[in-house]
Amino acid sequence: MKISRIPSGIPGLDEMVEGGFEKNSSVLVIGGGGSGKTIFGTQFLLEGIEKFNETGIYISFEERKDKFYKHIMLFGWNLEELENQGRFVFIKYSPQKMVEIVKEGGVKIEKIIKEINAKRIVIDSLSAYVALFKEESEQREMLVALFDMLANYDCTSVVIAEEDLDPDKRHSTIMGFMADAILHLYNIRKGDTMVRALEVAKMRGTKHNYRIVPISIDEHGINVYPKDKIFQ
């Protein structure tokens, strides 16, 4: 069967993944501080809002809405205006509240999704959720429950996780075993030069590019350069 795909909203990325993310999949985006995770998630939502007349949902465990809106406005993205138009929804839950919602089967979020007919959702950040559980078995159990919840929604999800990554070391994470796709965002330093980069570490059902490729962040957001080398 042909896989139905949706564009990511990140210029250059879809070229690496056969045209976009699998529809209704869960995409885990992992990176350290300042690697562009929040920008990535917002760009993904804006693609649906601006090009497909969708409503996007951003669920944050840590960020205050006013601070989030102010910082993202630097890219010319007026989320407050989109919210007033009913096209963007920002929800702030504590990690503890999210655990309650997951244990209840996610009906609270599902109700919001159906009311606004949302097709894209971002969760930021999975790291705060996982940190609530001390035992690995408990972490795994609650991650399975979270991703099962997302799989039941008629939405494509980007789930953000905070972790500093080293591209020279083979990396796997307990957070990634349930995700349909995993993207790594890097800040790579060589001498006095620092380069931003992206790697598609996993994407089910997709013949994806395995190279670590450079990215940039400018006033329009993230751009991916799939044919370029990190260091020329």
pLDDT, tens digit, 9 for 90 and up, residues 143-169: 999 999 999 999 999 999 998 887 777
222 pLDDT more than 70: yes
172 pLDDT more than 80: no
User: Which of 71-75, 156-160, 208-212 is predicted with the least confidence, judged by mean pLDDT?
Assistant: 208-212
Q: Which pLDDT belongs to residue 170?
A: 65
Q: Which pLDDT belongs to residue 193?
A: 82
Q: Which pLDDT belongs to residue 232?
A: 65
For the chain, what is the domain count? 1
Residue 48 lies in a domain: yes
Q: Which pLDDT belongs to residue 37?
A: 96
Residue 31 lies in a domain: yes
Question: Please, which residues have CB within 8 angstroms of residue 216's CB and are 6 or more apart in sequence?
Answer: 196, 222, 223, 225
pLDDT, tens digit, 9 for 90 and up, residues 114-149: 999 999 999 998 989 999 998 989 999 999 999 999
pLDDT-derived band at 171 (thresholds 50, 70, 90) equals low
pLDDT, tens digit, 9 for 90 and up, residues 191-202: 888 899 999 999
Q: In this structure, what token pair is assigned to residue 167? A: 């591209």
Question: What is the C-alpha to C-alpha distance for residues 65 and 9, in angstroms, rounded to an integer?
Answer: 22
Q: Which pLDDT belongs to residue 191?
A: 80
Residue 59 lies in a domain: yes
Provide the CATH number for the domain around residue 157.
3.40.50.300
Long-range contacts of 206-210 (CB under 8 A, 24+ apart): 206/3, 206/17, 206/18, 206/22, 206/181, 207/18, 208/16, 208/17, 208/18, 209/15, 209/16, 209/17
Beta bridge partners of residue 56, listed in sequence order: 88, 120
Token pair 């940190």 is found at 131
Residue 229 lies in a domain: no
Residue 232 lies in a domain: no
Residue 12 lies in a domain: yes
Beta bridge partners of residue 59, listed in sequence order: 91, 123
Residue 141 lies in a domain: yes
Residue 194 lies in a domain: yes
Percent of the chain predicted with pLDDT > 70: 97
- Residue 212: give the domain boundaries: 5-224
pLDDT averaged over every residue in the chain: 93
* pTM of the predicted protein model: 0.94
